[in-house]
Amino acid sequence: MKLYSRGQVIFFSVLSGLIVVLFALGVGILRFPGKKGTEAAASEKTAASDTENFQLRQSAENMVPLRLNTADLLPYSEGERENIAIYERLNEAVVNITTETVTINWFLEPVPQEGGSGSGSIIDTGGYVLTNNHVIANAYKVFINLANGDQIEGTVVGTDPENDLAVVKFDPPKGLDLHTIPFGDSDSLKVGQKVLAIGNPFALERTLTVGIVSGLGRPIQISRQNIVRNMIQTDASINPGNSGGPLLDAQGRMIGINTMIYSPSGGSVGIGFAVPINTAKRVVAELIQNGKVRRGWIDASMVQLFPALVRYAKLPLSSGLLVSRTKRNGFAEQAGIRQGSEPVQYGSSVIYLGGDIITSVDGLAVESLADLYSALEDNKPGERVAIEVNRGGRTVKTEIVLADREEVLRQ
């Protein structure tokens, strides 16, 4: 047997240790946190709040296939396996949103009280949640309730009442990997297609219901002046508390935001409506970046026709928008739109008769102010749109440059 000196033994021991460490590093067993790791984490956190990277991540998420554990799901039918896989992959990305509002007591003091409850979808690992505007409207505080039981106060970063959409932000706890829901394509939907809804009806967290697309292109009036076009109709059971939650296709992609139900009794009767995800995709990045959506408008004061006005002025139409005044040297005046010249008192307002009656904007018939809001929902200031007016009984067509809606309505 060959004997080694003490120095040789130490040398071979150190050499063996180095080999083990290098092997471990090569296969990824050891990971050493350090300055570079900290900088990378900070960079990732910053990128998570960047709207451009958010859109890139959403595109990548859309290509992630469902993960089916066939060994665990063998006893179930194909449809059941699909439902189970979608729920297990995405239910933790659905949050329960609760709010606090402020009321005034008998002593005229502000008093917080429990508000409403709804659902939301985590759409970005930075803690962004997509929900309905009516879920968080008038809220003093907003709380995000996660699947692990954590309740975190959130901040409303942007609202779009016109489409009943809102984005809420919360700071994810350290070490928690958030699940997110990818966006799908609502323009490719077909009636009869299978859909799934996950939400918190009656505060029963992360409830799954299944149904089909029952109808497409439903124009639903959500307020006195706002109509959401192309709403998705579904028979998947939706109840109070489902608002703001995701409507998913069979691949687990969000194709709508559950918003309302038709219900004479107050409960689900199988007629629910969801805002199309393509509508949300148009506005989400802008809500995150600016807190609101800039939209175009006609820089003129308009009056929705009503029977008494039609009879008094002997108008040739019973519906449409009468142009009372145009902004001096504004876009409407430059486009040749004629304002009224005969002032009449109606209540506390003055209406100028004799102007054009707007009947169509951007290819959509306009019979009311709600129709005008709907027609210009996806148009930005500075864009040109086609417009039709009735002028003395004949139709006149022209194009008009849109002004900033917020500026026009503020004047």
Residues 274-325: pLDDT tens digits? Answer: 999 999 999 999 999 999 999 999 999 999 999 999 999 999 999 999 999 9
Count of other CB atoms within 10 angstroms of residue 40: 10
Residue 92: predicted pLDDT: 95
314's CB contacts (< 8 A; 6+ apart) are: none
Enter the tokens of residue 30.
Answer: 């050891």
Between 409 and 196, where is the model more confident?
A: 196
User: Given this model, what pLDDT does residue 53 score?
Assistant: 58
Give per-residue pLDDT as tens, 86-121: 999 999 999 999 999 887 777 777 777 777 889 999
**Nearest 5 degrees, angle CA 321-CA 229-CA 237?**
140
What sign has the CA pseudo-torsion 230, 235, 239, 244? negative
27-31, 70-74, 267-271, 318-322: range with lowest mean pLDDT: 27-31
Alpha helix ranges (H) inside 62-143 = 70-73, 78-90, 133-136
- Per the model's pLDDT, the better-predicted residue between 398 and 37 turns out to be 398
CA distances from 19 to 16, 26, 205 (A): 5, 11, 52
- How much is the pLDDT for 73? 61
Say what the pLDDT of residue 245 is: 95
What's the confidence (pLDDT) of residue 202?
Answer: 83
300-304 and 321-326 beta bridge pairing: antiparallel
Q: How far apart are CA 100 and CA 138, in angstroms?
A: 9
Residue 37 is predicted with a pLDDT of 38
Using pLDDT thresholds of 50, 70 and 90, give the confidence band for residue 348: confident
User: 177 pLDDT exceeds 70?
Assistant: yes
Whole-number mean pLDDT of the chain?
83
Q: Which percentage of the chain shows pLDDT scores above 70?
A: 81
Q: What is the pLDDT of residue 203?
A: 78
State which amino acid sits at residue 104: I
Question: Beta 165-169 vs 151-160: how paired, if at all?
Answer: antiparallel
Sign, CA dihedral 79-85-90-91, equals positive
pLDDT for res 265: 66
Write out the catalytic residue numbers.
134, 164, 243
Would you place residue 228 in the very low, low, confident or very high pLDDT band (cuts 50, 70, 90)? confident
Does residue 387 or residue 9 have the better pLDDT? 387
pLDDT for res 255 = 97
Which backbone phi and psi does 133 adopt, to 5 degrees? -65, -35
Q: Domains in the chain, ordered, with CATH?
A: 186-290 (2.40.10.10), 296-410 (2.30.42.10)
Residue 350 pLDDT > 60: yes
User: What phi and psi values does residue 379 have, to the nearest 5 degrees?
Assistant: -110, 140
pLDDT in tens, 26-61: 433 333 233 333 333 343 444 344 455 565 566 555
Q: How do residues 180-193 score in pLDDT, each as one tens digit?
A: 999 999 999 999 99
